């Protein structure tokens, strides 16, 4: 009673504004202040870092993809008769349609790049180790969803590039033992890509995958909050303690700058190279040499090696190698039980990461050079 | 720890300042670059990646880029916007080098940063080193790459490799082998030369640090200081200004952004479609009726002309009938 009396006496004229009243009303029912405290007052061991921005940036890119994708759906018609023409209409007739489509196109590439950067950061920081195994596994599932997003979205414009990239991709999936035939038939919906394929890819792209991504991203965030940030992999206890800070405001500021930079980067790419379509999809490739989206180019070039020729070679390259790589990633936190997180004291992990990156870069460039031989 | 700080290599010092400073400045530089791109004042064509690297490292490339373009007849982009972007990046780089430099002095060197002009002092040193060093680096790496490519061609065509396969080295293997050879050589030379350049800058910064006094506070005190250095004095004003600038830039961006595709490529031009005229039944019917009437009149005229012509022919035959036949027979006699 006394304290109330004192406070009302010291601030006699203070009256809550309408906004304050609304916030107080909502807080009483929803516990907003508690949520805010939990969301923003998360301590980050060793303080905020630019290396931690990739998760938030990925969430931002996904939201932007959802917004631009929804706007594109106002004009896009998912039928083999109209998909190509409606995409051309978006590019050439709809106001700023070219920019929305180009942003959406480059946004998908940015998502893959940021995803690889995020996974690399987690791997190099040793942040997949106990107690963050589940966080790593859900992250891998999200990686699969993002790649599938790119694969399904690629077909939608229904030009030669889309048609043949999808055909090559489905043929690779077809080589998977036991389930390959079913997946290929399910995706194609017939002997060759047609209306059923387009419908199924469209439904996957705009309904199933976004729902799955939202659910898993929510789970990923929840697990992140439960396990807490891992912090830096080096530095003395004194240094880490001195730099430890809350999520708000410094990390949020870094995240916002990261998001702005990625947004600007995607805009720049859209302005530099706006999306253009090739000829409408036909079962005859003509002079077009089928190839997948750029982030699959390294793998496409890898499969051109003599090592992966023949029935066994094709199975080895198209199925066994990627499956083994994924199993390795899934099992990583369970066989790497060494608590050491400093990447410079984990030589095998460092060499493996460098080797993977070198293979990706080398074979991507090789695939680009290979175009000259095909032309 | 103190010894480690004293013996920090010039390469680590140079890299420790240049790397974060480049990334601190690039988000702001990128905003201007995008605005200029949207206005159509600059075109990067196939050099987008190279142009980004040049802009990222603009403290070092500010004078070096025009020299490289002039000396080696190459370009990182075309249009007046390129000079504009690099011009705008000067104050941004000075600010970024200043804030990163002060942090580096306190956190890594545990020394009091110079009071005034640290950003400018590091910037002009970096720019001058870049002006002399980068064109030289460009020339050396270009030549090494050329030699590496020709050497890798020769290796790929070696007889011993040809015999490994019946039809010579397959294309994919050949590309991979050649790329690995010349790529490794070029990258190694590039990294060594870049390390030399960064080390030169590091030596200059170390000399600057030698004239400064050690920081008095303990580690916690230093961290608090460098942390507060990055926090604006009036956070509300800073936030309001940033939001205001963001809104203005967004409006300007949408105002200057082309409504339709800015440069449709020659290979994939929009197919020209002729619009069908709107169908108006009454107009079409009357037009058709008029056309039919006109055609009927034309047909009648033609019929009349034919009939007249036939009459004239018949009359002519009647007048010259026997003579013509006897003349024809006469013509066939031997």
Cβ(A253)–Cβ(A56) under 8 Å?
no
- CB contacts, 8 Å: B50 with chain A: none
Q: Alpha helices of A126-208 — where are they, by DSSP H?
A: 133-155, 160-174, 180-188, 195-203
Question: Quick one: which H or E segment has residue A293?
Answer: none
Instruction: Look up residue B92 and give its two tokens.
Output: 């941004």
pLDDT value for B333: 40
* Nearest CA distance, B287 vs chain A (angstrom): 34
Low-confidence ranges of chain B (pLDDT < 50): 322-334
pLDDT value for A271: 93
Cβ(B24)–Cβ(A259) under 8 Å?
no
Instruction: Look up residue B55 and give its two tokens.
Output: 């802009």
Number of structural domains, chain A?
Answer: 1
CB of A234 within 8 Å of a chain B CB? The answer is no
Residue B255 CB coordination number (10 Å): 9
B290 and B176 in one domain? no
pLDDT value for A2: 44
pLDDT value for A3: 44
Q: Alpha helices of chain B — where are they, by DSSP H?
A: 2-6, 10-38, 48-56, 58-61, 64-72, 80-107, 118-156, 159-162, 171-210, 219-229, 235-256, 281-331
Global pTM?
Answer: 0.84
Residue with tokens 């700058």: A257
Report if residue A13 sits inside a domain: no
B181-to-A193, B67, B265 alpha-carbon distances in Å: 41, 30, 35
Contacts of B175 (CB under 8 A, 6+ apart): A366, A369, A370, A373
pLDDT value for B169: 77
Whole-number Å distance between alpha carbons of A370 and B176: 10
Residue with tokens 């504004």: A17
* CATH code (residue A233): 1.20.810.10
pLDDT value for B125: 95
Whole-number Å distance between alpha carbons of A306 and A290: 19
CB of A91 within 8 Å of a chain B CB? The answer is yes
Contacts of B214 (CB under 8 A, 6+ apart): B110, B111, B112
CB of A35 within 8 Å of a chain B CB? The answer is no
Partners of residue A280 on adjacent β-strands = A159
CB of A350 within 8 Å of a chain B CB? The answer is no
Residue B159 CB coordination number (10 Å): 6
Q: Which residue of A has its CA nearest to B231?
A: A250
Cβ(B89)–Cβ(B56) under 8 Å?
no
> For chain A, where are the E strands, in sequence order?
43-44, 245-246
Instruction: Look up residue A88 and give its two tokens.
Output: 């051309």
Q: Which residue of B has its CA nearest to A298?
A: B176
Write the residue in B44, B219, B268 that is nearest to A239 by C-beta: B219
Cβ(A268)–Cβ(A146) under 8 Å?
no
pLDDT value for A25: 92
B305 and B209 in one domain? no
Per-residue confidence of chain A (375 residues) as pLDDT tens digits? 344 444 444 555 567 788 889 999 999 999 888 888 888 888 899 888 999 999 999 999 999 999 999 999 999 999 999 999 999 999 988 999 999 999 999 999 999 999 999 999 999 999 999 999 999 999 999 999 999 999 999 999 999 999 998 988 888 888 888 888 889 999 988 878 899 999 999 999 999 999 999 999 999 999 999 998 898 988 888 888 888 888 888 899 999 999 999 999 999 999 999 999 988 998 887 778 888 889 999 999 999 998 888 888 888 888 899 999 999 999 999 999 999 999 999 999 999 999 999 999 999 999 999 988 776
Cis peptide upstream of residue A249 (ω within 30 degrees of 0):
yes
pLDDT value for B275: 67
Phi, psi (deg, nearest 5) at residue B90 = -60, -55
- CB contacts, 8 Å: A91 with chain B: 261, 270
- CB contacts, 8 Å: A365 with chain B: 179, 183
pLDDT value for B271: 60
Cβ(B101)–Cβ(B79) under 8 Å?
no
Whole-number Å distance between alpha carbons of B37 and B253: 10
- CB contacts, 8 Å: A96 with chain B: 257, 259
B158 and B56 in one domain? yes
pLDDT value for A9: 47
Owning domain of residue A361: 47-374
Report if residue B82 sits inside a domain: yes
Cβ(A332)–Cβ(A134) under 8 Å?
no
Which tens digits make up the pLDDT trace of B111-144?
888 877 899 999 999 999 999 999 999 999 999 9
Question: Quick one: which H or E segment has residue A314?
Answer: helix A310-315
Report if residue A186 sits inside a domain: yes
Write the residue in B31, B183, B262 that is nearest to A274 by C-beta: B262
Residue B288 CB coordination number (10 Å): 10
Report if residue B245 sits inside a domain: no
Report if residue B97 sits inside a domain: yes
pLDDT value for B3: 61
Report if residue A14 sits inside a domain: no
Assign residue A189 a region: left if phi > 0, alpha if psi is -120 to 50, beta otherwise? left
Phi, psi (deg, nearest 5) at residue B264 = -60, 130
Whole-number Å distance between alpha carbons of A90 and A76: 8
B168 and B305 in one domain? no
Report if residue B330 sits inside a domain: no
CA angle B74, B75, B81 (to 5 degrees): 160
B299 and B176 in one domain? no
| Closest among A36, A35, A33 to A24, alpha carbons compared | A33
Owning domain of residue B200: 2-216
Report if residue A239 sits inside a domain: yes
pLDDT value for A105: 96
Report if residue A28 sits inside a domain: no
CB of A358 within 8 Å of a chain B CB? The answer is no
Report if residue A9 sits inside a domain: no
B289 and B162 in one domain? no
Whole-number Å distance between alpha carbons of B21 and A341: 27
Instruction: Look up residue B119 and give its two tokens.
Output: 């950003």
Report if residue B19 sits inside a domain: yes
- Please write down the long-range contacts of B203-206, taking CB distance under 8 Å and 24 or more positions apart: B203/B10, B203/B14, B204/B125, B204/B129, B205/B10, B205/B13, B205/B14, B205/B17, B205/B101, B205/B122, B205/B125, B206/B8, B206/B10, B206/B13
| Closest among A60, A55, A89, A59 to A72, alpha carbons compared | A89
Contacts of B115 (CB under 8 A, 6+ apart): none
Residue with tokens 């200081």: B225
Report if residue B250 sits inside a domain: no
Number of structural domains, chain B?
Answer: 2
Cβ(A209)–Cβ(A148) under 8 Å?
yes
Cβ(A301)–Cβ(A366) under 8 Å?
yes
CB of A294 within 8 Å of a chain B CB? The answer is no
B204 and B287 in one domain? no
Cis peptide upstream of residue A131 (ω within 30 degrees of 0):
yes
Instruction: Look up residue A131 and give its two tokens.
Output: 């107690």
Report if residue B235 sits inside a domain: no
Report if residue A223 sits inside a domain: yes
């Amino acid at each position: 009673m006394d304290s109330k009396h004192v406070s009302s006496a010291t601030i006699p004229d203070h009256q809550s504004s309408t906004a304050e009243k609304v916030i107080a009303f909502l807080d009483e029912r929803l516990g907003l202040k508690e949520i805010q405290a939990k969301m923003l007052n998360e301590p980050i061991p060793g303080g905020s870092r630019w290396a931690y921005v990739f998760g938030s940036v990925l969430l931002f890119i996904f939201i932007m993809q959802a917004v631009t994708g929804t706007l594109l759906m106002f004009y896009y018609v998912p039928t083999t008769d109209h998909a190509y023409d409606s995409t051309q209409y978006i590019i050439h007739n709809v106001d700023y349609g070219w920019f929305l489509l180009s942003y959406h196109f480059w946004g998908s590439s940015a998502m893959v790049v940021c995803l690889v950067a995020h996974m690399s950061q987690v791997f190099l920081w040793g942040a997949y180790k106990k107690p963050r195994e589940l966080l790593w596994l859900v992250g891998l599932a999200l990686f699969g969803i993002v790649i599938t997003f790119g694969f399904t979205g690629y077909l939608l414009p229904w030009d030669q590039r889309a048609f043949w990239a999808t055909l090559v991709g489905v043929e690779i999936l077809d080589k998977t033992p036991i389930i390959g035939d079913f997946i290929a038939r399910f995706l194609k919906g017939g002997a060759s890509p047609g209306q059923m394929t387009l419908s199924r890819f469209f439904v996957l792209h705009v309904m199933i995958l976004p729902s799955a991504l939202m659910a898993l991203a929510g789970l990923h965030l929840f697990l992140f909050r439960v396990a807490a940030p891992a912090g830096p992999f080096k530095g003395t206890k004194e240094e880490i303690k001195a730099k430890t800070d809350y999520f708000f405001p410094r990390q949020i500021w870094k995240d916002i700058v990261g998001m702005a930079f990625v947004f600007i980067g995607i805009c720049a790419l859209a302005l530099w190279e706006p999306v253009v379509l090739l000829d409408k999809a036909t079962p005859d490739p003509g002079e077009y040499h089928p190839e997948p989206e750029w982030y699959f180019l390294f793998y496409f070039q890898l499969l051109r090696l003599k090592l992966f020729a023949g029935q066994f070679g094709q199975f080895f390259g198209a199925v066994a190698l990627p499956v083994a790589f994924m199993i390795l990633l899934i099992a990583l936190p369970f066989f790497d039980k060494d608590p050491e997180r400093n990447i410079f004291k984990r030589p095998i992990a460092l060499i493996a990461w460098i080797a993977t990156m070198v293979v990706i870069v080398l074979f991507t460039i090789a695939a680009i050079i290979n175009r000259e031989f095909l032309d | 720890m103190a010894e480690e700080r004293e013996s920090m290599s010039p390469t680590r010092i140079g890299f420790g300042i240049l790397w974060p400073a480049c990334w601190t400045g690039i988000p702001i530089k990128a905003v201007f670059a995008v605005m200029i791109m949207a206005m159509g004042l600059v075109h990067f064509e196939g050099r987008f990646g190279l142009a980004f690297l040049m802009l990222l490292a603009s403290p070092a490339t500010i004078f070096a880029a025009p020299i490289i373009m002039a000396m080696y007849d190459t370009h990182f982009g075309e249009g007046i916007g390129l000079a504009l972007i690099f011009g705008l990046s000067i104050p941004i780089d000075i600010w970024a080098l200043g804030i990163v430099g002060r942090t580096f002095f306190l956190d890594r060197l545990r020394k009091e940063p110079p009071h005034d002009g640290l950003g400018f002092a590091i910037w002009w040193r970096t720019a001058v080193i870049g002006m002399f060093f980068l064109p030289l680096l460009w020339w050396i790496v270009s030549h090494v790459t050329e030699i590496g490519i020709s050497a890798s061609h020769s290796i790929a065509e070696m007889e011993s490799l040809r015999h490994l396969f019946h039809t010579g080295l397959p294309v994919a293997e050949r590309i991979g082998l050649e790329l690995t050879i010349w790529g490794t050589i070029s990258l190694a030379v590039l990294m060594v030369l870049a390390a030399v350049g960064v080390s030169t800058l590091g030596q200059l910064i170390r000399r600057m640090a030698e004239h400064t006094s050690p920081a008095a506070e303990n580690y916690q005190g230093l961290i608090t200081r460098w942390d507060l250095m990055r926090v604006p004095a009036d956070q509300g004003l800073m936030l309001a200004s940033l939001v205001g600038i963001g809104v203005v830039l967004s409006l300007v961006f949408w105002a200057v952004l082309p409504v339709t595709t800015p440069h449709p490529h020659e290979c994939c031009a929009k197919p020209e479609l002729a619009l069908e005229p709107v169908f108006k039944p009454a107009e079409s019917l009357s037009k058709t009726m008029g056309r039919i009437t006109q055609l009927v009149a034309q047909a009648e005229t033609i019929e009349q002309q034919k009939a007249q012509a036939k009459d004239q022919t018949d009359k002519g035959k009647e007048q010259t009938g026997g003579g013509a036949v006897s003349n024809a027979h006469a013509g066939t006699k031997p």
